[in-house]
Structure 1
């Protein structure tokens, strides 16, 4: 498995603001990115399973989670943020692609710093917890989400829609409350259908589409026993795919490190004696990329923080 190193991730996202939105899978995407920006380590099983904690690897819980009541309802909220001298990463837990809560997140994006990268997915909760006839409602919400998001963020913002990863034949998890357990056998097929519509719409709105369902179709050994979540190696691959594509979009040549023995890597070792990362800048590749649905348009590599950042929060817990 090829992967991005700590040094490469730190340099690539230098002075960048990354926003991650979605469910528990996307929370782990956020966590792995935050960890990789600081050290050459994998997430532990405890870190993968934890939710709503007050702090994770120097980040802070801004809203929801253990600050409020912990539950598995559709109204659960969790906003996290990691900030260093040169990195800003924020996570919003969402259970529906478009809702009044999503509109409040859009207000954050309008009134705060403009994200350089937005990584998003919302599917499993949408198609299982709200309406038994989910398709029309999901498509309508996707349309409203993409249309409003396109009106908020500038064209320089890289928006990556992640397609939902393969579900197991049998599942158990926080979203799978007793009243919807009967839907579990059909969900894995519903996800494939939902991926088709969400990927097609995202592409039509000019977003990038990373097909994680395709990428992990032969990596099911890295899916955990609950049939929903994935282990630390899988999440490092996701992070590497996301950063590799970001580098391609910004015209950055980023050679990846190679893990020669995945079985040993499963024990979560750190990389030792890694060579310094080398970055070259060249015009973005306009040919079809391996991991995305459409070819990249030119995006200029730029430093977004042109004014002082004081690391403060307003009374709503937002960074300004």
Structure 2
């Protein structure tokens, strides 16, 4: 599919909204597809050609981005295990978008990412979800472990991220009653009847913990229910390119409202769960225009 839709966020809107802002996505393969649609939108309004463009993992390049860590860069290759890592980055002109693949919302690997933010360039916006792997891949106590880990994560987020940084926790999208493909490995097949209820519990718990800490929550699970039958693909977990552009439009609408900026898309983003939206001064940015000009010059010299 390569048509545009006048209800969607436009390339011009996205470029204005994310200019001079460092955006980080963290999460599973669904979040990786969100990242890929953002990268696509900053360059063209047409959707990616088909779902095959969104689904691959660990490839060296995607529409001008580059693989920084994991994936095809390591000899172990692309696995479906909890130890799989992948870090991607798209950087051009005044835009930088990074993606981290994670299978657990808090642990040693997440601490290394937070250390990246402290030692290197801290982000302006962090968009994160990590529940589906957390509640299925860590044994009989996976859901309880998630509740402990999400609490630790959010405490660390408050400690590490700059006050000007916008952290958005996404509620986990629902899955089909019949999941196919690489996610549903034999070791967790017994969870297929309980996983949807576990997602509801995890979403509620994470939302409450974010609300306690005044961190933004976007109820993606609720907003995407109307699109389940038209935009979810046959594996019961992932979404079509059009589905991801709908997700991108919701997110951009939410972020624009938080920064009190106007965009042409007008998708409502209120959800079933009690969300938190924190309004911010649009003129307060961690990195002024001069910083990005120096970044651009450095990149051009490397080329």
Query: Structure 2-normalised TM-score?
Result: 0.89
Q: Which residue of 2 aligns with 1:253?
A: 262
Q: Determine which of 253, 276, 282 is the counterpart of 1:244.
A: 253
Q: Which residue of 1 aligns with 2:14?
A: 9
In the alignment, structure 1 residue 112 sits paired with structure 2 residue 94: no
Q: Determine which of 236, 243, 252 is the counterpart of 1:234.
A: 243
- Relative to structure 2, which stretch is displaced further, 298-307 or 170-179? 298-307
Q: Which residue of 2 aligns with 1:225?
A: 234
**Whole-angstrom distance in 1 between the partners of 2:44 and 2:277:** 32
**Whole-angstrom distance in 1 between the partners of 2:59 and 2:45:** 22
Q: Which residue of 2 aligns with 1:82?
A: 90
In the alignment, structure 1 residue 49 sits paired with structure 2 residue 55: yes
In the alignment, structure 1 residue 198 sits paired with structure 2 residue 206: yes
Q: Which residue of 1 aligns with 2:72?
A: 66
* Deviation (angstroms), 1:174: 2.3
In the alignment, structure 1 residue 301 sits paired with structure 2 residue 283: yes
Q: Which residue of 2 aligns with 1:290?
A: 270
Q: Determine which of 158, 176, 186 is the counterpart of 1:178.
A: 186
Q: Determine which of 97, 100, 122 is the counterpart of 1:92.
A: 100
Contact 2:66–2:88 (CA under 8 A) maintained in structure 1? yes
1:230-273 deviation digits (Å, cap 9, x = unpaired)? 11111101111111111111111212289xxxxxxxxxxxxxxx
Unaligned 5+ runs, structure 1: 259-287, 313-320
**Whole-angstrom distance in 2 between the partners of 1:231 and 1:39:** 17
Q: Which residue of 1 aligns with 2:26?
A: 21
**SS of the residue 2:179 aligns to:** coil
* Deviation (angstroms), 1:125: 0.4
1:279-316 deviation digits (Å, cap 9, x = unpaired)? xxxxxxxxx9735702423334334334332556xxxx
Q: CA RMSD in A?
A: 1.8
**Whole-angstrom distance in 2 between the partners of 1:3 and 1:31:** 16
* Deviation (angstroms), 1:10: 0.8
Kindly report structure 1 stretches of 4+ aligned residues shifted beyond 4 Å: none
- Relative to structure 2, which stretch is displaced further, 37-46 or 69-78? 37-46
1:36-87 deviation digits (Å, cap 9, x = unpaired)? 0011121222112211100000000000011121110000000000000110
**Whole-angstrom distance in 1 between the partners of 2:31 and 2:106:** 16
Q: Which residue of 2 aligns with 1:149?
A: 157
Contact 1:289–1:296 (CA under 8 A) maintained in structure 2? no
1:100-121 deviation digits (Å, cap 9, x = unpaired)? 1111001111111121110000
Count how many residue pairs are aligned between Structure 1 and Structure 2: 283
**Whole-angstrom distance in 2 between the partners of 1:173 and 1:197:** 28
Query: Structure 1-normalised TM-score?
Result: 0.84
Contact 1:289–1:295 (CA under 8 A) maintained in structure 2? no
* Deviation (angstroms), 1:136: 2.2
